Every structure is written in C-alpha cells, then in structure tokens.
Amino acid sequence: MHRGADRLPDKGRFLSSLSLLAAMLLWGSSFVAMKYAFGYFSPLVVIFGRMIVATCCFLPFLPAFAKLHLTRAHILPLVLMGFCEPCLYFLFEAAALTKTTASQAAMITTLLPLLVALASGVFLGERITRRTIAGFLLAAAGALWLSLAGAVSEHAPEPLLGNLLEFFAMVSATGYIILMKQLSRSLPPLFLTGMQAFIGSLFFGPLLFLPAVQLPTQFPLVAVFAVLYLGVFVTVGAYGFYNFGISRVPANQAAAFINLIPAFTLLMGFVLLGERLSFWQLIACGVVFGGVFLSQDSSAVSANDMHKNSIVSTSSS
C-alpha cells in the first residue's frame, strides 16, 4: 500500500506536467492565429468571437455546473479572476499585437513566472527554492535569446509600446493565476474555465458597440476558422489544460511552463508559415526547455499543499 501511495504523486505530477505542456503548445499557436485573424477582423471582434465560441462549448456542462456548491465567498474571487483574464489580459494583448510581432509578444511572457513567483510567495505561502529561481532565470534568458537571435519584422510599427502592453497583460495574468490557484481548491477546473469564457463574453459584447470598432461585413473562411480555433482549442483547450495543471502543482512551477510559449511560437512559425529558425534560435529553444525542467523542484510546495499531502498519506496508511 505504501508502495502504491508513493507512485501516485509521481503519476499525478506527470499528468499535470503533460497538461501544462499541452496548454503551452496551444497558447503558442494562439499568437500566430490572433495575428492572422487581426488582418481580417477588428481585435475586439476576434476576442468576442472566441469568447462566444468557448461559452457555447460549455453549454452541455450546465446541468453539472448547477449542482456545484457555490457560496458568497466564491463570487468576488470568480469575478476578479475573470476580470484579470480574459478581460484585462486580452485588452492589453490585442493592443500589443497591433504594435509588435507575435514572437516579441510571446517573449514577454517569460516575465510572468517571475511575477507569479513573487505573488505566490506573498499570497499563497509557496516556498521558492534556489533551483526553481535558477530554472526561471535560465528559461527567461533562453526566451530573451530567442528574440535577440531573430530578425526584426516590419510588422512591428511600435515594438516598445507593444511589448509594454504585453507586460501589462502579464501583470493581469499574474492576478488570474493566483486567484485560479485559490479557487481550484474548492471548485473544479472545468467550471472555472467555463466561467472565464462566460465573463469574457459579457465583458467584450458591449464593447462591440463602441464607435471605433469596425464590425465585419465579409467573413473569409480562413479568418472564421482562426476565430473558431481560438475559441475551441485555445480558450477552452489551453485554459482547461492549464487550470487542471495548476490545481495540482504549486502556482510558481506551473507558471514556469509559460517560458515554453516563445519556443512553440517560433517552431509553429517554421511549420505553418515557412519561417526558418537559425542555429542559435534552435539552441535557445533548448535552453528554454532546460530551464523549465530545472525549475520543477518537487520540494517547493505551499503550506496548504503540504497539509493536503499529510492528510492523504495518513489516510493511505
């Protein structure tokens, strides 16, 4: 019995890591899909479209969601979580992608694990080890190397402003991750993902009536497919995988996986857009993956997670 109990955490860590890896792969593709969709539709139209598509995906789960035991203590964190992401996050990121390239915007995401590490230490009581910090720094350095090794694109009219807006998106994402980690202790990840889509639909819907927003008059099939992909595979799939993973590992370790997004974005540019990676960019991708692997220190758990593990081991024995 003790031998089986010892295997369970390893299996759970593998599944959570696999889920986080899948989320990063899908998020890496989202930069390319959004940049392409923005060429046909207004950014707010694209964001609202993906939110509505994602909300429709969760309609079959409404009977199960109705049986959940929600309390007043859940309401404010749920609203704040949705306001941080997708609302503020997508506003900043959409504006960023009109000013800078997808690759540079993806590179800025490497700052998120450092922000989450600080916030999780303050709000969640998670202990940050030297190994985790070293992994963060190595992965961030690799992601920065990816950006510096790439050629400057003409599709970045104001890269400094765009990268600053992407940084604000990372600040919003930090608030989302902290709130998500807290809520996942009492609510299932699938429900939390559905609430994000629903709150996003309510938030972005009225913004379509702003005078500056140009509603589409034509709907090219490829652009519509890009919005559908963002709604189903990214908004539902990526957030579902990430919410599952973050509910089972410390928030700072889950955030470390975000350093993989720039590598995935460049790799997909190579596969889907015919872009070529230089030798040094390939080496930099390896550095990013190595940093994420190094940051996964199983001894860095929060006080609440340690308490859960003690209860599980006690009941098992």
- Dihedral sign from CA coordinates of 153, 91, 36, 23: positive
Show the low-confidence residues of the chain (pLDDT under 70).
1-11, 146-156, 273-277, 296-317
Indicate the pTM of the whole model. 0.76
Per-residue pLDDT tens digits for 178-231: 998 889 889 998 999 999 999 999 999 999 999 989 999 999 999 999 999 999
Q: Token digits for 252? A: 């700072």
User: Cα–Cα distances in Å, from 278 out to 142, 152, 287?
Assistant: 14, 14, 14
User: How far is residue 76's CA from residue 78's CA, in Å, rounded to a whole number?
Assistant: 5
Which residues, 6 or more positions from 89, have their beta carbon under 8 angstroms from its beta carbon? 169, 172, 173, 176
| Residue 121: CB atoms within 10 Å | 15
User: How far is residue 55's CA from residue 57's CA, in Å, rounded to a whole number?
Assistant: 5
Owning domain of residue 18: 2-316
Cα R_g (the chain), whole angstroms? 20
| Burial of 122 per CB tally in 10 Å (0-12, 13-18, 19+) | exposed
- Quick check: 74 and 183 in contact, CB under 8 A? yes
Which pLDDT value is given to residue 83?
96
The number of residues in the chain equals 317
> Could you give the angle at the alpha carbon of 14 between the alpha carbons of 12 and 17, nearest 5°?
110
Which pLDDT value is given to residue 7?
43
Q: What is the DSSP letter of 302?
A: -
First to last CA, the chain: 7
Which pLDDT value is given to residue 152?
58
User: How far is residue 313's CA from residue 291's CA, in Å, rounded to a whole number?
Assistant: 31
Per-residue pLDDT tens digits for 2-36: 444 434 466 677 888 899 999 999 998 998 898 88
The tally of domains found in the chain comes to: 1
The dihedrals phi and psi of 306, each to the nearest 5 degrees, come to -65, -40
